[in-house]
Structure 1
């Protein structure tokens, strides 16, 4: 399935996808709802159509546009395929120049920037019904809200972090692979057993370079119930019992238990390679790491499992969705919401057509996206299980867990850079002064936030 990213500009595929231009459809209706023959015609531009290099994703997008427009002959979807969609500089330029499409893709981390520029239409009058009808997770909808509670966007996908672990190494160490560690104390104990089982295995690995150590520190902080910044975004809050506990656990696994190996200053590629080689017991990651470990680093799919974050008090989360240009008419908004209902909000359709994914030989069965609650969530899970090409039972504990999603902090990369040095010091210096390191980092974060 297409994993979209924010489009760079609208100079790509300007040709509208086939179908007659049409008029507004009631938001929340499905693609089979049809359009009244006398309804006003409406056209909407939508960015981030998959590029030609992503053949399967592009084929599926075009199939979806065709299906939708046949069912809604008064709505015309004009797809834009300019890439790379993830270019933040171009996103900023388009936003500043009011050049965004009618319906434009946005990462969760860019939503507040859009709101600060006044670049999106207010969807509040529509979203109450949509959230209820589609059983969308309120915590994900909240990413698109301003401080007053008004809603300006619709979630499309999400990710959250968990504990990836090697079932074969668990079994070798005498651990039950169906009962993964649920606390950081249990992670530490399991890591030591895996290391002590021999064969050069490393029990647990973590990042500590290229800002990734700070990113993972924040994830571990959230899992213990801590925060990186104050609610008003003005003060660092990492100098806390939870922050110190994160560092103490890493220090003890590295230096007391020797369960993290001697090689440090690792990044994501290093750790994925370790997991793919079968030498690593555990590390923190989102579900999308699993296909990468298998496809790029030779891992065995059957050996890989995913558990919820230890402690479970929070998980660093992200994702994406769509917002509407502030200049859209009500008719365009209604048409766009109907398109999103089909594309992203309904299990079994559009991006969530798992039967099509299986037919197209895509990986089906990962426990995300997970944007729904209640019956909708169950329907999506059941459809994935019926069409799974992956061992879904290996992700069951992650799938059924309810861990609060916590957004990345403001000025995230700058904060991660500060915390990177803290983590690397703890993992490379046995006598690292944790209190001083975390205190100094907290002061630097507060200075960053004051600028």
Structure 2
């Protein structure tokens, strides 16, 4: 997200970060160095009237507006349902404008003095490190695999099939997927009409996006389109979607070799660079692009639904917000990936471990997802809620932005986390190279090749 947003924009972009994080590597991973964690003892049920206090750390509590308000509401509802469990909610330690960037360092700092939070919201891109280095507790051992699966099945509506394994590693569930989105193409219908474009037929390919963006620029004087997948601050969740949509990968399927300098990836970066050079995409920071779109000064933006509330508020009565699925490359299907985060347990005491699980089950319940979807805009991972008149159907019927996101969920691929303790340097280094090419005009092929060779040394075993 580059220099970061203040107020609601920052929070939404942050949510994108959260949405940001991946698990493709998590499911059934067998990459070298992936150790199978030792089983932990099962946490006993809490006794009647047993008082327990736990700490819940989430970057949502570091955001103003809908994020903090919604999560405080959820914690209040949990207290009413579980009066014997006291939850202290806190944001990650650190002073970053985007609290999501402080999650891992905050947890490490608290673990170093033997006092980790009991429940932590961490991005999917941190999954490898969270399981293998930070030693999150395997929930299948902690409460039983049958109990974990029962939670996924829900009281009435199960988790979407592609969502329920995003927090798995080597066949065990470590994190319960919590909130995420897929990449959405938001557009300003008024600017479309002024440019002679049909809002009912938004661009379906990147060539069409570039053409429409140039029309908007030429006929309205406003900027055309911004792809918020191409900077270090945006992380790589959405960039991976672009790459997969062109048949490439940023890392091999077994996660032992970096592949972001391959032709399919270079083609994506070259196409995005061409949009900047041709004036179809403004050379802006994420903050500038998000705020410009919310003001009505940008025609299109590829973004997370975490920012949907910000965009809808910005549009107000002034212009109509439109939304479409992520565009693809000519002749190839678009392959959306997920952003977002899961909930992990780090509690040491059995009573706190069981209380932590009770909090997780509540925060991923039908009740909680009804609140989260309507007040923030995240996908309700219990998708059956959108067909229930007593739950989310009225909201879904009135929300034209939901349908493309739900459709993409059905064919989504997981965001793949980089391996080993140097995963952040690898991910950030790759995105620095992408940003340099797209926005600073560096040669895509040579820039990506040089950076891949440099970062390969940071992989476990120095492979690359």
How many residues were matched structurally? 395
Alignment-derived partner of residue 34 in structure 2: none
Contact 1:164–1:285 at 8 Å: present in 2 too? yes
Rg larger in structure: 1
How do 1:328-407 and structure 2 match up within 5 A? 328-329=349-350, 335-346=355-366, 349-350=367-368, 352-353=370-371, 364=375, 366=377, 368-373=378-383, 375-376=384-385, 378-379=387-388, 383-384=391-392, 386-387=394-395, 392-401=399-408, 402-407=410-415
Q: Show the counterpart of 1:280.
A: 298
Counterparts of residues 212-291 of structure 1 (less than 5 Å): 212=233, 215=236, 217-255=239-277, 257-261=278-282, 264=283, 266-291=284-309
- Residue 268 of structure 1 deviates from its aligned partner by 0.6
Contact 1:24 1:41 in 2 (8 A): no
Structure 1 segment 83-98 matched on structure 2, within 5 A: 83-84=91-92, 86=99, 87=102, 88-98=104-114
1:35 aligns with none
SS of corresponding position for 2:338: strand
* 1: CA distance, partners of 2:256 / 2:220: 48
2:385–2:391 contact (8 Å) kept in structure 1: no
Instruction: Flag the 1:291–1:118 CA change in 2: closer, same or farther, 3 A.
Output: closer
Work out which of the residue numbers 426, 439, 451 in structure 1 matches 2:449: 439
Q: CA deviation at 1:377?
A: 5.2
TM-score by length of 1: 0.73
CA–CA distance in structure 1, aligned partners of residues 173 and 318 of structure 2: 40
- Say yes or no: does 1:64 pair with 2:104: no
Q: How does 1:101-250 map to 2 (within 5 A)?
A: 101-117=117-133, 119-124=135-140, 125=145, 126-133=147-154, 134-146=157-169, 148-196=170-218, 198-206=219-227, 211-212=232-233, 215=236, 217-250=239-272
| Partners of 2:119 and 2:347 within 8 A in 1 | no
Contact 1:238–1:438, Cα closer than 8 Å, also in 2: yes
The separation in 2 between residues aligned to 1:41 and 1:343, in whole angstroms, is 21
Over 3 Å counting, the alpha-carbon distance change for 1:81 and 1:128 in structure 2 is closer
TM-score, L = length of structure 2: 0.71
SS at match of 2:400: helix
- Distance in 1, Cα, partners of 2:125 & 2:112: 17
Return 5+ residue gaps in structure 1 as ranges: 7-22, 26-37, 71-75, 358-362
Higher relative contact order (CA 8 A, sep 6+): 2
